[in-house]
Amino acid sequence: MPLLILNGAMRKMSRNSMGVFVVMRRFALLFIVGVCTLIFGCGKAPLTWSAESKSPDGKMIATAKTFDESGPGTDFIQTTVFLNWTTNKNAPTMILAFSDGPAEPGGMNVGLNWLTPTHLELTYKGARAFDFQAVKCDGVDISVRDLSNSTTNSSQ
């Protein structure tokens, strides 16, 4: 029978004590493995595509990014478009977001076309539902056009 040393005195461990000790050791091991999995498994989704375009007057900048996350139960792909002043160090404002689209290469890409210094046209291919769409931001009109069927959703 195993011996347990407590306060310098050796004592015999009963079968019940050994069972509790084994259960606690397994729990501690699973807890450590779980914490390590969370720490090393959770991270920022990798950037797979990005583009940016400055307005004709150079005052605004539109930025588009696509992130592709994969993993057990966490697969997603999302494209977001942001608008910001070129001289502003604050966080940019989201003006478009979607998380579905064609699986083909470039299917989640967005075209950033400045028609005037105050009108930004966003283009894409393939029918999709938008998670978020702004029609105006910081004095800039925003229109969205599907290039595959030539329809336009605009603020005008």
**Three-class DSSP labels, 6-72:** ECCEEEECCHHHHHHHHHHHHHHHHHHHHHHHHHHHCCCCCEEEEEEEECCCCCEEEEEEEEEECCC
What's the pLDDT at 118?
95
More confident residue, 115 or 126: 115
What's the pLDDT at 41?
59
More confident residue, 155 or 95: 95
**Is the domain of 89 the same as that of 119?**
yes
Distance between start and end Cα atoms, the chain? 85
Question: Using 50, 70 and 90 to split pLDDT, how confident is the model at 156?
Answer: very low
Q: How many domains does the chain have?
A: 2
The CA-based dihedral angle spanning residues 120, 109, 103, 126, taken in that order and rounded to the nearest 10 degrees? 20
pLDDT digits (tens, 9 = 90+) for 40-97: 655 566 778 899 999 999 999 999 998 877 766 667 788 999 999 999 888 999 999 9
Tokens of 141: 């009109």
**Is the domain of 18 the same as that of 63?**
no
List residues bridging with 97 in a β-sheet. 80, 132
**Strand 119-124 vs strand 140-146: parallel, antiparallel, or unpaired?**
parallel
**Is the domain of 17 the same as that of 52?**
no
Q: What is the mean pLDDT of the chain?
A: 80
Is a pLDDT exceeding 70 seen at residue 98? yes
**Is the domain of 58 the same as that of 34?**
no
Q: Identity (one letter) of the amino acid at 26?
A: R
**Is the domain of 86 the same as that of 147?**
yes
What's the pLDDT at 155?
47
Mean pLDDT value of segment 90-110: 83
**Is the domain of 53 the same as that of 126?**
yes
More confident residue, 32 or 55: 55
**Is the domain of 65 the same as that of 138?**
yes
The whole domain housing 16 covers 3-41
